[in-house]
Amino acid sequence: MDIKKIFGENVKKYRKAQGYTQIQLAELLDVDQKHISFIENGNSFPSANLIAKISEVLSTEPKNLFTTHKKPTVEEMKYNLIKLVQNASDKDIEKIYEYFGYINLKNQI
């Protein structure tokens, strides 16, 4: 995914979590509302100074605006579990096996 899209989606998520409209955020940042819209849609990327201001207003670290929080698909989860088991120590395999046994037992009840 494009970094501008990731950044924009995160700005939108944090903006909504703070209860701000695009207009309110624009006023707090002293920019035009269209600029916020362009950023959130991934059509524009802010300057370093504006990134710092956005993160401050939205009460988050700048790095959080660049991180994807996409939930993996079931297929990705299966793949990751297989890799985890392949790279696990014998002791960890025993623990994983016990845990899966517990889940299986729990599902039968």
**pLDDT tens profile 10-30:** 999 999 999 999 999 999 999
* Domain total of the chain: 2
Q: Can you give the C-alpha Rg of the chain in angstroms?
A: 21
User: 49 and 88: one domain?
Assistant: no
What is the reported pLDDT for 7?
A: 96
Per-residue pLDDT, averaged over 57-81, amounts to: 87
Q: What is the average pLDDT value for the chain, to the nearest integer? A: 91
Q: Which residues contact 69 (CB under 8 A, 6 or more apart)?
A: 10, 13
What is the reported pLDDT for 64?
A: 92
User: 20 and 52: one domain?
Assistant: yes
What is the reported pLDDT for 66?
A: 94
pLDDT band for position 84 (cuts 50, 70, 90): confident
Range of the domain at 80: 74-108
The amino acid at residue 87 is N
What is the reported pLDDT for 106?
A: 78
